[in-house]
Amino acid sequence: MAAIDRSKLDNFISVALGLKFCVSGLQNFILDTMETTHQNILQQIPVGFCNINCSRKYGNGFSQWCIICGSWKDELNKLCRYKKQRDKINWKEIDTIDFPHSTPDSYEAISKVFVRDVHQFKQGIYQDLGAIISLFMNMKTFSFDNQILVDIQRHRNDSFAHNYRVSLDETEKKLCLNSFIRILKVPNIFCKESAKVAVSLLEELVLSEGIPTGLLQHQDALDTLILIRDSFEQLSPYTDLQIVAFSFAIDTFKDRINNIILKTTIKPKRVTKNLVSLKTRNVLKCLSLPLLSIYIIISFISLKKMDSSNEGCYSMRFLEHWKSDLDFDLYVETLNNESFIERRWLRDIVDKQLLEANGVLLTANMGYGKSSIISNIVCADRSSVCKDLQTRKYNEMDA
């Protein structure tokens, strides 16, 4: 079997990155839409919560469900576009106990009602484009040109999910990436900031030969490369031809990804030529101490005059630094610059909890935004929804 063409392998990797960018770009739209749907249902059903998780305990034995879970089921059935999907719902895979709560976990639990074969999506249905397309197709709340969804589903499967050759022609790559751009440019989606950023990244992938180095500076891109490298062996080719192609490609694929990650994470050493004469260097040495003294004095005066309301990130450094070289300030600033999803709902929850307790522990799977919300608070500017939370909480700690 012939060796895998490097450019075709990079096209395959570009589509993998494009999938991640597309999913990230849809997040604001999905969460905002599901939040609105959740609030509408709350107004139609009895107020209350379930304590036994009826769906998990009783499955499709609906006569044993409590009135709260039963009411939620009835309202969600009305939003199911196809009777065939409604009849196939496996309620034991869904947590109705989460339905009444106004949180992302609740919205995702509701969304599972409309996703086929929901057990396949281990990392959450909002993190898999196949699950998202299933949600869009089966839930009446979402109204799209069906051809857009069909095209995305076909390109995702042919170019990535079922592509055991891990190779793509340039034309195939562009068709797939353009299908992602097409859905993100739907007006109701493109008005969201996350969609605009994702479209910009996808358009760069379309126009580039190979993998643009600049895109790999995004943490989402590196996380995606690591994820597909580590999960690639879990793919299950069906035919003998697919098995042979897959076995041949896997080592080359993993080696290429490792090389990309290595080049991205290792900074090249800077080589400088000795262009300054010996006499000039001696003069600079004599001036260095006085100049350093002046700089320290000016910096001290500036710090004394600094207003605590100035823009910029508050310090995350500890006094002892745990005797570590880790720079949390740099990490937080970098993360804040890379974050393009503003989690307004989470800000409100954190603010409310801090009124009742001295701290909040955020727990979630990788990629849900735990570090991002912290960076949004620490680095909030005057226009940010987190500015009031930042100012109030840091003032309390100073007091």
Q: How many residues does the chain have?
A: 399
In this prediction, residue 303 carries a pLDDT of: 53
Instruction: Check whether residue 247 and residue 362 sit in a common domain.
Output: no
Is residue 145 a part of any domain in this protein?
yes
Instruction: Check whether residue 183 and residue 250 sit in a common domain.
Output: yes
Q: Which two tokens stand for residue 18?
A: 């494009």
Q: Which two tokens stand for residue 109?
A: 């639990």
Structural domains in the chain (count): 2
To 10 degrees, the CA torsion angle through 321, 326, 330, 331?
A: -110
Please give the Cα distance from 317 to 326 (Å, whole number).
Answer: 9
DSSP conformation letters of 308-322: TT-SSPPP---SSGG
Is residue 76 a part of any domain in this protein?
yes
Report DSSP state, residue 80: B
In this prediction, residue 342 carries a pLDDT of: 58
In this prediction, residue 367 carries a pLDDT of: 61
Q: Which two tokens stand for residue 197?
A: 């950023």
Is residue 30 a part of any domain in this protein?
yes
In this prediction, residue 262 carries a pLDDT of: 77
Instruction: Check whether residue 338 and residue 236 sit in a common domain.
Output: no
The alpha-carbon radius of gyration of the chain (Å, integer) is 26
Instruction: Check whether residue 110 and residue 217 sit in a common domain.
Output: yes
Half-sphere exposure of 204 (CA within 13 A, CB side): 14
Instruction: Check whether residue 50 and residue 171 sit in a common domain.
Output: yes
Instruction: Check whether residue 230 and residue 105 sit in a common domain.
Output: yes
Is residue 235 a part of any domain in this protein?
yes
To 10 degrees, the CA torsion angle through 91, 94, 99, 104?
A: -150
Which residue range(s) make up the domain with 367? 321-398
Instruction: Check whether residue 252 and residue 335 sit in a common domain.
Output: no
Contacts of 213 (CB under 8 A, 6+ apart): 264
Instruction: Check whether residue 223 and residue 331 sit in a common domain.
Output: no
Please give the Cα distance from 268 to 264 (Å, whole number).
Answer: 10
Determine if the pTM surpasses 0.75: no
pLDDT tens digits, residue range 132-189?
999 999 999 999 999 999 999 999 888 887 877 788 899 999 999 999 999 999 999 9
| Residue 94 and residue 118 in contact, taking contact as beta carbons nearer than 8 Å | yes
Is residue 81 a part of any domain in this protein?
yes
DSSP conformation letters of 239-307: SHHHHHHHHHHHHHHHHHHHHHHHHHHSPPPP-----S-HHHHHHHHHHHHHHHHHHHHHHHHHHHH--
Q: Which residues of the chain have pLDDT under 50?
A: 271-273, 275, 306-310, 321-323, 340, 397-399
Please give the Cα distance from 177 to 160 (Å, whole number).
Answer: 11
In this prediction, residue 26 carries a pLDDT of: 96
Instruction: Check whether residue 167 and residue 258 sit in a common domain.
Output: yes
Plot region of 117 (φ>0 → left; ψ -120 to 50 → alpha; else → beta): left
